[in-house]
Amino acid sequence: MKSMIYLILCLAIVSCKKEVKDKEENTFAFEEEPETIKTAKERKEELTSKGFEIFDYVDEETKDTVLMQQYFIAFLKRGPNRSQNKEEEDGLQALHMAHLGSMYEQGFADISGPFGDDGDIRGITIYNVPTQKMADSLANSDPMVQAGRLQIEIHPWWAAKGFSLR
């Protein structure tokens, strides 16, 4: 329970941080300056040039062009090595949270979180990177995965660019 509360608090802190990193420093961040508004065509060209899979369609009701991007959703599943003592588990959890925070800060992950049950699928991370190979590499660099406490299953996932959760 403590780990769950710690995870939720850390994610809340990370998600509330408003600092925008220098775009030179973070190739895959797409936060826009408030005065910079790009057309769907410009956005599409930018994403395509960076290797992202995308498609667009016109919303019949609003007549707006909706740009769909392929993301990668990583399911963090219960791993084969869960024999760590409490101190080791807490240390791995802290490293896991730091890893997820770093993925978010660098613009590689857009959302992460645990599931509320105690099932085999422990949580998810949605990676905002151009290839599944890159998402797999980032997900497998998680200290919890490296320790065998978690294992990763990644699937391509499509979502409208710029839409937010409600």
Q: What is the pLDDT of residue 155?
A: 98
Judge whether 155 lies within some domain: yes
Residue whose entry in the numeric block shows the structure tokens 């990370």: 14
CATH of the domain at 101: 3.30.70.1060
Cα 119 from chain centroid (whole Å):
21
Name the residue among 124, 112, 117, 137 with its Cα closest to residue 74.
124
* Residue 131, pLDDT score: 97
**Which residues, other chains included, contact 129 with Cβ-Cβ below 8 Å and sequence gap of 6+?**
28, 72, 108, 135, 138
Could you tell me if residue 56 is inside a domain?
no
Name 112's bridge partners. 125
Residue 9 lies in a domain: yes
Q: Is residue 105 part of a domain?
A: yes
**Inside any domain, residue 45:** no
Domain enclosing residue 16, as ranges? 2-37+67-160
Query: Phi, psi (5° rounding) for residue 31?
Result: -65, 135
Helix (H, G, I), strand (E, B) or coil at 149: coil
Ranges in the chain, pLDDT < 50: 1-30, 32
Overall number of domains in the chain: 1
Query: So what's the pLDDT on residue 34?
Result: 53
Query: What amino acid occupies position 110?
Result: D
Q: Three-class SS of residue 101?
A: helix
Residue 46 domain-assigned (yes or no): no
For residue 115, being part of any structural domain is answered with yes
Measured between alpha carbons, how far is 146 from 12 in angstroms, rounded to an integer? 25
Assigned domain for 125 exists: yes
